[in-house]
Structure 1
């Protein structure tokens, strides 16, 4: 802004407007004379600049203006499946521990009803799958929606489910008499 102008007036440079061109008048060199003259430069006359009034809002530094909500790029299904597999060893280790503990419990039960025991195992695994889906949903809301971050793996959800399955396996072990006696013997409790 130059002095003497109103604050609402500003110089506007618009790339879509044509810039007037000026022809450069040069002197033709005489015979035996070169074009070059030391100390002389052709300076075009200054053009008049049109002043326009702009009513565009000014932005605070750091403020970003968007039209509509920004959209995240879609992640392909193959990439999502690879993200779900990352950390899956935790869930597999918990499931193996649960199956071993359940097998020991079912073997120690004797000739009882194994259908109910199998249903109980199936329900524990179903609850584990539900907790995994819930932990992924909570991670999606917290990490992606609220914090604006992207998830690269599911290892934390798998670790949570692995701990849940190990706890379920320990509850099976705690109901086996000879395992409890062995544990008390190792601890020194009689």
Structure 2
């Protein structure tokens, strides 16, 4: 009886990993003109690609049915506070005009004071920062009142720009009231007209 090989000593007949392994370069060129071998594991070709299938959905989509009785609709949800730049442009001409008016009045006040311009510049920058805060506050109040309470969609920021323009106009008038020669001229005109 022939001796059986141990299970770990079995060998497999595998094709060579490199068909040109062990051949000299001269043999390669000579073999290049010869007919190709019957079986070559390294032939060029196209891989078969299986089309991707749509993943199967394991669970059903969840649709909120609302709170309360079956068949009742979903509770109304308030739209989120969203905006676009184009929405903020509507009414910006009022804010732009008010900023220019405030700048001119601030300039009259700053130049009439006759001192270093560091403090007036800081005052004007703080005024612009507060005006931006007024604009943002008006947007939030408009969102809470118009969109959440009344259910209307705002299509522009005209109201917020108007509030900001009124604030800047008030600051500009306050600057002019602190300028002595402007107030003297105002009182002279008011006394002569009456």
Q: 2: CA distance between counterparts of 1:73 and 1:131?
A: 21
Q: Following the alignment from structure 1 to structure 2, what is the Cα–Cα distance between the partners of residues 74 and 102?
A: 35
Partner of 1:122: 125
What's the TM-score once normalised by structure 2's chain length? 0.59
Partner of residue 167, structure 1: 170
| Residue 113 (1) aligns with residue 116 (2) | yes
Task: Verify: 1:147 aligned to 2:150, yes or no.
Answer: yes
Instruction: Give the alignment of 1:1-190 within 5 angstroms.
Output: 65-70=72-77, 72=79, 80-110=84-114, 112-188=115-191
- CA pair 143-115 structure 1, distance change in 2 beyond 3 A: same
User: Deviation of residue 91 (structure 1)?
Assistant: 0.6
Question: Displacement, 1:83?
Answer: 1.0
Q: Which 4+ runs in 1 deviate beyond 6 A?
A: none
Q: Is the alpha carbon distance of 1:177 and 1:72 closer, same or farther for their aligned partners in structure 2, counting shifts above 3 Å?
A: closer
TM-superposed CA distance for 1:81, in Å, is 1.0
d(CA) in 2 for partners of 1:82, 1:123: 27
In angstroms, what is the RMSD of aligned CA positions?
A: 2.5
- In 1, the alpha carbon distance for the partners of 2:134 and 2:126 equals 12
Conserved? CA contact 2:79–2:147, under 8 Å: no
- Which has a greater percent of helix? 2
Q: How many residues align?
A: 125
- TM-score, normalised via structure 1 length: 0.60
